[in-house]
Amino acid sequence: MLPLFAMVAVAVISRSPLSAGASFNATPLQTNGMHRVIHVDVQDGSASDRNPGTASAPLQTIGRALQIAFAQNANALPVTIFIHPGTYRETLSIAAGGADVALTLQATENGKAVVSGSDVWKGWRPWGDRGIFVHPWLFSWGLAPVPGGWPKIHDVLRRREMVFVNGLLLSQVLGPENLAPGAFYVDDRAHLIYIWPREAVDPGTAMIEVAVRDPVVLVSGRTNLTIRGLVFQHAATAPDASAVTVNNSTNVLIEDSTFQWNNWGGLAINTSVNATVKRSVGNHNGARGMSTWKDKNVLFEDNETSFNNWRGSWGDFYSWATAGIKNMFVHKGVFRRHRSIGNHTWGFWLDTDNQDVTVEDGVWCNNNAGAFVEASQGPITLSGSVICLNNSTSLGTSISQNVTLRNNIIYNTAPYPLLEINDLSSGVVRDWETGQTMTLRTQRWTLCGNVFISAGRSEHLFSVPDWNFFLSTLRSARNDYWNPYTRGAFWLRGSPGSGQTFDLPGWQRLVGQDADSIFADPRLTDPTRGDFQPLPDSPWHRC
């Protein structure tokens, strides 16, 4: 394993953790009465859903393979479905089986078997002479309902249409007068769709894909499910829905898979127990890459959720239900080496009733905002992570307690605090398992061995409200604070428009903490380029 800082320097600029094209040896698994193997190969000219599903006589669709698998599972036989390279334009429904035996969906080559929510549309005709084309629109979706409890949102966020021309997403506009190169428009009344590709194309030969399915995979009440090496894309999901949704399931393993270019969310795991996601990617989705909700015992390891919330950016929607990864109501969770880069929203978000959560060695950089811990009772530990060069707040929190920050690097040049404690003094949260209500406050925080670097002239390291219960319960030691432009980097907020700033000695007297912390350049190799390796003369000492 790479050391933390070497990993960070690579992670900020390197490719995703999925090794596209990597394959495995499928030959050890055979049909022997104790385990059923099914092959699906959409590119094999002899493939047919009337075939037995052997390697030499494969099925054509994954849906047919699942039908056979469910029957075999009901007879207590575990099943592996090998999915060969190609694009499978279908919706998969995986429900509870007759027995708690294993079902595995496995690509024969990682990243080359694609389950898609789009179809290829032909028959486009020119509209005028500017490179615009028109096609009958076959659906009556209109504006999706706004989910309950949400604020008012822009109409473009309530649309679910997507069009890709030769693999490139067109942006959606809401009126014909707004059409421009690289955009499309759906006329609901006339049942027509107009596209204007960025460059001149021949619609007879161009690959024009239109999203038509929602979702692409729905898992309900399943036990012992593995999904490995697949790509899921182009789901025409409405607000707050995801392309692949796992509900009420137990012992779920997702590895080496990609969730990309879906209208809202990529992967969602809800009300499930013992769910593991490894070496998977949720990039370029309309609102969020991955999410969890009311889950227990989850492990997310070596995953990436980057460049999400493009649809949200179309409608100035950068929070609420958007994030690189958003986690709500997680009880016992580990998020290890998770990267979120370049999202038009928060990179990493723990929101409401999160307890017993450990976050290790994360990288959350170049997002609209870094990480947020909200309305959670903890304990929550964030350690060994880098939060850098985000466009606004690096680490924010609201009414969360029992939080430990250990050995993290928080670096920014934007004029926003590195650690911002928001203004809600307390709030009531209900434990989803016990039903118990809790009054939470932002208190009992521990900071140890962290580096806080503010490279902006007007930026404060901390923005802390004048709350006695936060200040009196803070435990802080061995941190390295640095701003090359000002020593008065600690801001204690008062009423709006007021407050006090302190240098480190003043902060130490105020809180009675940080006696062995320092205000000094931590001497890192090149933070502006994402290289946070300490130089030999670095004064930073981790806990």
| Average pLDDT along the chain | 91
Q: What is the pLDDT of residue 237?
A: 97
d(CA 72, CA 101) in angstroms, rounded, equals: 10
Least confident of 22-36, 182-196, 319-333, 487-501: 22-36
Between the two ends of the chain, the Cα-to-Cα distance in Å is: 21
Q: What is the pLDDT of residue 455?
A: 84
Q: What is the pLDDT of residue 528?
A: 85
Q: What is the pLDDT of residue 1?
A: 30
CA distances from 204 to 193, 201, 376, 386 (A): 16, 9, 54, 48
Reduced to 3 states, what is the DSSP secondary structure of residue 395?
strand
d(CA 364, CA 278) in angstroms, rounded, equals: 18
Cross-strand partners of 103: 79, 225
The pTM of the full predicted model, rounded to 2 decimals, is 0.93
- pLDDT digits 0-9 by tens, 41-69: 999 999 999 999 999 999 999 999 999 99
Element (H, E) at 447: strand 445-448
d(CA 249, CA 272) in angstroms, rounded, equals: 5
Among residues 127, 201, 115, 195, the alpha carbon closest in space to that of 166 is found at 201
d(CA 97, CA 339) in angstroms, rounded, equals: 34
Q: What is the pLDDT of residue 413?
A: 87
**Distant-in-sequence, close-in-space partners of 284: CB < 8 Å, separation ≥ 6:** 260, 261, 306, 307, 308, 310
Phi and psi at residue 46, to the nearest 5°: -95, 0
- pLDDT digits 0-9 by tens, 353-378: 999 999 999 999 999 999 999 999 99
- pLDDT digits 0-9 by tens, 460-506: 787 776 667 788 899 999 999 999 988 888 888 754 455 788 899 99
Which residue do the tokens 């009414």 mark? 399
- pLDDT digits 0-9 by tens, 270-287: 999 999 999 999 999 999
Share of the chain above pLDDT 90, in %: 81
